Amino acid sequence: MKPLHTLTITEVHAGLKNGDFTCEELVSHFLKRIERLNPKLNIFLSLNENALQEAKKVDEQIKKQGITLPLQGIPFAIKDNFLTKGMITTASSNILKGFMPQYESSVTHKLLEAGAIILGKTNMDSFAHGSSTETSDFGPTLNPWDEGRLPGGSSGGSAAAIAAQLATAAIGSETAGSIRQPAAWCGITGLKPTYGRVSRYGVVAMGSSLDSPGPMTRNLEDAAIILSVISGKDVRDATTSPKPVENYIDNLGKKDLTGFKIALVKEYLLDSMDQRVKDLIVSAAKKFRELGATVEEVSLLDPKYSIGVYTVIQRSEVSSNLARYDGIRFGHTRDHFNEENKRRIMLGTYTLSAGYYDAYYKKAQAVRTIIIDQFAKIFEDYDAVIGPVSPGPAQKVGATKDQPMFGEMEDILVEPSSIAGLTSAGVPCGFVDNLPIGLQITGSQFSEGRIITIADCYQRNTNFQLFPNLD
């Protein structure tokens, strides 16, 4: 039998059904692995004290009725900006240190309703401000592929949890790359849903017009199973879409991509990019052609413009969202914000102030509309666009020091699709210096099914879904 920490959701369910192991044994295995590896990697900030008791209940349920729920007994790692009733939620900030939520986020509520077991909460950039997990007030998470490297961010803890195989699946959130970029740096699969496909209710807000919760997993199959559970209209979140939720599992297993048209964005192969990364993306395009798809080069607005748009819009929304942390409602005063938090609040307040609103915020929204329209035009002729997730592999620990625009530069290639509210899958496509490189496969709004089909077919026909040996 394969080691328990290497199993996918489908394999876990097969093992539980066949009696190869119990849910209690599975959860215990992960907890022991976390106990061994977490002091070194700093992935989990807190653990669920009731995880083993919950696992015992699952075993009783399976004994009586079999497996009846899509995520029954599946151990999850949850990014620490999702409110979890009875479990501390900090968003990796000292302002929320020790904060115990009184209600459950919609995403974690749906996971629990589907039978999942939360192992614990994972480290992240403080209030999701960053792309490295170095801005966490509780210390950086280290990349399981190389402990001298960063895991990316802001969902770096969740990405590292899957790479280190400390959970079967994980949940992250993306504002502009925070699922796909750490997934790329850690060599796992990350799926960013369309904005409004998954509820933001109970997620500590960062950029309210951008935030998108999503799965971080071993492969596309697991991501599709989870997305089918967490998607849908939520009466507590007015930005969620009433569009029916597909059974994304039905989009898996296609043998080829005949009839699909894929666009390779020329501007995403940056002049400054490592040639080896460019070569991997060109190789991925070749693989798509071998699988029967038509792949053609297209042009989009230079991604450098997305940096300015994202910086203005995100900082503006940050200044609004963090205004509630006034030392009255959440226990700690504003002097507990770290330097990155303060920079974003100050810049956002400036861009929204009288006399500067038109020059910055209004102009950023106008350029955002141009980006949205350009993507819409491309998707009239193509099923997906592809490009690298990040200009290079995981950066070294300490790379963010004195680099206030670090995140924007590392996320330059994923910011355009997030600004446009699109869906995108990030999957491994090779290695540079023994570090994983990610490919993004992006589709129009609410085309998750099609993107899952394309990404899953690519993944099943390549062998880049590897994990570091930590044993």
- What's the distance, Cα to Cα, between the start and end of the chain in Å? 17
Rounded distance between C-alpha atoms, residue 279 and residue 256, angstroms: 23
Rounded distance between C-alpha atoms, residue 450 and residue 379, angstroms: 12
Peptide bond into 154 cis (omega under 30): yes
- Active-site residue 418, yes or no? no
Instruction: Spot the catalytic one: 79, 110, 121, 192.
Output: 79
Rounded distance between C-alpha atoms, residue 261 and residue 296, angstroms: 8
Rounded distance between C-alpha atoms, residue 74 and residue 54, angstroms: 11
Rounded distance between C-alpha atoms, residue 17 and residue 20, angstroms: 8
What type of residue sits at position 208?
A: S
Instruction: Spot the catalytic one: 105, 106, 131, 154.
Output: 154
- Active-site residue 154, yes or no? yes
Rounded distance between C-alpha atoms, residue 195 and residue 380, angstroms: 20
Instruction: Spot the catalytic one: 178, 390, 424, 447.
Output: 178
Closest CA to 181 of 202, 201, 158, 204: 158
| Phi-psi label, residue 95: left if phi above 0, alpha if psi -120 to 50, beta otherwise | alpha
Cite the DSSP H helix spans in 294-380: 304-321, 339-352, 363-378
Give the active site residues.
79, 154, 178
